[in-house]
């Protein structure tokens, strides 16, 4: 019997909000979390921008990934009302992304020296599965545990891994998501690649699908989702946001940082995701794009959607929330999927801010500047990552038992 999978909990920590609701409120209103980047070790004197959570120089227990991930996971679990009921933790799985290690204890360390006594243990600072293991341990999750590294598609892949584990009856519930902080090595690498956007007014820097784009802006944050077998959620009368109706992963076997200009792999991914979800292009009303604000990504993503949607592309709206949140890399997919889920619940398409001069090559309805009310039943999330990792998830708004009512005020007209 096929196990349908639904979303029963969401948690977020971002540059624009300390939790799910404040983040969604800011995104709806088009508020940016991008500012001047300060306090990153080793990058003094380099004028860079970032959408940060607090000051990167401030560390809790020597690390920053861990507290953000635990906070978002705790919110998602509480939101799902699992804490109110007795749950079999051996049937509660966890699929989180790998992370670039928190390494404050090794900053400036000589090869022949030892870390300071105040530094975190080496495995907490270096092992890529540290956050996954510690979050699962913190909440006592004893089901299947997955940790993947697929660049900025990682947390989208994590959601699909959790979905598959439930469909395969390995577990009834799974926590899925990721976390990202701005690490000096990552920041220096992107800076050397010359892919980072800059503007004298930081909030105007990230401009997806705009002729005047200059690149992307690094972001920080964490997103977590509780996924659950539908029958299990209904049995415990859980509140439900949406159903994960399908998804696919593939690879653009072309280049580590470049994409094939014909968009064939992305078009295949979209078409296969719709086929697996038993949907047609006409069923999708909203797409949350990868939308980095680089010429290559914006044009090729638009081309891939047009190739797979055909005439239906004229009726779909698409936005890039990276224009406000920055690029959360490992956490990008799940945070943007969470935003898409809340958009379905509230019937509201979030905006692509700073889109003042649309690129003629990016000629879809990109919801420029201001979001809008728009009822829709299905949404599609796309992730297009370095290394050629491509992933997509299709969602259906839940309108059955346990439906979550919209929290959007009737007077909201942005």
pLDDT above 60 (res 113): no
Please, what sign has the CA dihedral across residues 50, 51, 56, 61? Answer: negative
Q: How confident is the model at residue 123 (pLDDT cuts 50, 70, 90)?
A: low
Q: How confident is the model at residue 56 (pLDDT cuts 50, 70, 90)?
A: low
pLDDT above 80 (res 405): yes
Q: How confident is the model at residue 410 (pLDDT cuts 50, 70, 90)?
A: low
pLDDT score for 257? 65
Q: Which residues are catalytic?
A: 152, 290, 327
What CATH superfamily classification does 5-105+121-397 receive? Answer: Thiolase/Chalcone synthase (3.40.47.10)
pLDDT above 70 (res 184): yes
Residue whose C-alpha is closest to residue 377's, from 401, 408, 410, 400: 400
pLDDT above 90 (res 361): yes
pTM: predicted TM-score of the whole model, two decimal places: 0.93
pLDDT above 90 (res 38): no
Rounded to an integer, the average pLDDT of 102-123 is: 55
Q: Which residue has the higher pLDDT, 120 or 369?
A: 369
Q: Considering the chain, what is the average pLDDT of its residues?
A: 90
| Domains of the chain, residue spans | 5-105+121-397
Q: How confident is the model at residue 125 (pLDDT cuts 50, 70, 90)?
A: low
**207: helix, coil or strand?**
coil
pLDDT score for 119? 52
pLDDT score for 110? 46
Over residues 324-358, the pLDDT tens digits come to 999 999 999 999 999 999 999 999 999 999 999 99
pLDDT above 70 (res 299): yes
pLDDT above 70 (res 114): no
**157 Rama class: left (phi>0) / alpha (psi -120 to 50) / beta:** alpha
**Alpha helix (H) residue ranges in 30-115:** 65-79
pLDDT score for 414? 47
> Distance between CA 391 and CA 97 in Å, rounded?
14
Residue 312 DSSP class: G
């Amino acid at each position: 019997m096929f196990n349908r999978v639904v979303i029963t909990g969401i948690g977020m920590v971002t540059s624009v909000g300390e939790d799910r609701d404040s983040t969604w409120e800011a995104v709806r209103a088009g508020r940016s979390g991008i500012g001047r980047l300060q306090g990153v070790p080793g990058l003094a004197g380099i004028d860079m921008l970032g959408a940060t959570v607090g000051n990167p120089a401030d560390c809790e227990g020597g690390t920053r990934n861990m507290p953000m991930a635990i906070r978002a996971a705790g919110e998602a679990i509480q939101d799902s009302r699992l804490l109110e009921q007795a749950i079999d933790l051996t049937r509660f799985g966890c699929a989180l992304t790998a992370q670039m290690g928190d390494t404050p204890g090794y900053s400036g360390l000589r090869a022949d020296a030892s870390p300071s006594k105040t530094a975190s243990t080496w495995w907490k600072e270096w092992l890529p599965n540290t956050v996954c293991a510690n979050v699962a341990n913190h909440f006592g999750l004893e089901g299947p545990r997955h940790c993947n590294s697929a660049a900025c598609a990682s947390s989208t892949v994590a959601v699909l891994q959790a979905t598959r584990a439930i469909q395969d009856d390995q577990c009834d519930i799974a926590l899925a998501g990721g976390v990202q902080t701005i690490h000096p090595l990552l920041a220096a690498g992107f800076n050397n690649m010359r892919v980072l956007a800059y503007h004298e007014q930081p909030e105007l820097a990230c401009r997806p699908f705009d002729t005047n784009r200059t690149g992307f802006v690094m972001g920080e944050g964490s997103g977590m989702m509780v996924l659950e077998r539908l029958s299990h959620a209904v049995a415990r009368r859980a509140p439900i946001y949406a159903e994960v109706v399908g998804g696919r992963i593939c690879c653009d076997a072309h280049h580590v940082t470049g994409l094939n200009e014909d968009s064939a792999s992305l078009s295949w991914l979209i078409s296969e995701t719709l086929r697996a979800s038993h949907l047609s292009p006409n069923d999708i009303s909203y797409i949350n794009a990868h939308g980095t604000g680089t010429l290559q990504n914006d044009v090729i993503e638009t081309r891939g959607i047009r190739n797979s949607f055909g005439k239906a592309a004229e009726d779909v709206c698409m936005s890039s929330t990276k224009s406000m949140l920055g690029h959360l890399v490992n956490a990008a997919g799940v945070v943007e999927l969470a935003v898409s889920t809340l958009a379905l619940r509230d019937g509201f398409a979030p905006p692509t801010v700073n889109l003042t001069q649309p690129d003629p090559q990016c000629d879809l309805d990109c919801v420029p500047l201001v979001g809008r009310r728009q009822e829709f039943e299905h949404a599609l999330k796309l992730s297009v990552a370095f290394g050629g990792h491509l992933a997509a998830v299709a969602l259906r708004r839940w309108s059955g038992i346990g439906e979550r009512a919209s929290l959007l005020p009737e007077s909201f007209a942005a």
